[in-house]
A and B are shown apart, each in its own frame.
Chain A
């Protein structure tokens, strides 16, 4: 395995680590300010501000290309959906354990498989292979097991 691939795997693990760490900080913050909506708004605002400053620093000024409004609207929809996703996750974190929420949220992979072709059209339809069916059954089974076992 070359150095490039090893770096890729390390960054992959760090991605998972970041996404697992973020809800822990949110859960700690909710102990002092019990507002999931503000938790989302504050987290997003700070991240956006830092990202925007880094963007300006790297591009030496605002250089957004001239783009078709249709693509901007899709991107805005993605941003709003992402914000609502984080907000829903934070609301769930108020009343239950981090592991349960993060486990159930992984169902997004199956929802994307189903919703993708509906929204993007036939060209984006995944070919259903036996591995996808087996994986989907395991994800669904795991989610049901978490929901069943959460109060035991």
Chain B
């Protein structure tokens, strides 16, 4: 099931990237981001209440809540903020080739913080993906 949900995540992220191009060009980055964040927050809060209810949160584990909050802030405020700052200086194509290295950082960080080890197949797969993303973004730059 984890593979299915990883592929589903890739599909939804892709859908989000495509639809955001339709909206954000007319709305501007700040207003567009707020609408996007509000829509994402309301829809996930609604799903959490419908599918899991508040019982799951009892007894409230503050440490976990802090980890979730940190995860959200780092992804949306840190990630998106640096993404905009980088894209305005080096352009989206070069930026994409750099963010393609995300899985490599994930391997190192997961090893040191969660003690998660990967075998040679996974490492090889990640290496191919990072090189593939670099070549695709360079190929788009050639057009």
Contact = CB atoms under 8 A, between A and B. Distances in A.
Mostly helix, strand, loop or mixed at chain B's interface? helix
B92 to A, nearest CB: 10
Interface residues of A, number: 121
Given A29-B64, A132-B140, A145 B128 contact: yes
Interface of B: 1-3, 5-24, 26-28, 30-41, 43-45, 47-48, 51-52, 56-57, 61, 63-79, 82-83, 85-86, 88-90, 94-96, 98-107, 109-110, 113-114, 116, 118-122, 124-140, 142-143
Contact of B122 (A13, A95, A99): A99
A71 to B, nearest CB: 4
Interface of A: 4-5, 7-9, 11-35, 37-48, 50-52, 55, 58-59, 64-65, 67-68, 71-89, 91-92, 94-109, 111-113, 115-116, 119-120, 124, 126-127, 129-132, 134-150, 152
Given A12-B86, A87-B47, A98-B116, A142 B129 contact: yes
B114 to A, nearest CB: 6
Contact of B12 (A88, A126, A152): A88
A9 B19 contact: no
A34 B20 CA distance: 31
A97 B98 contact: no
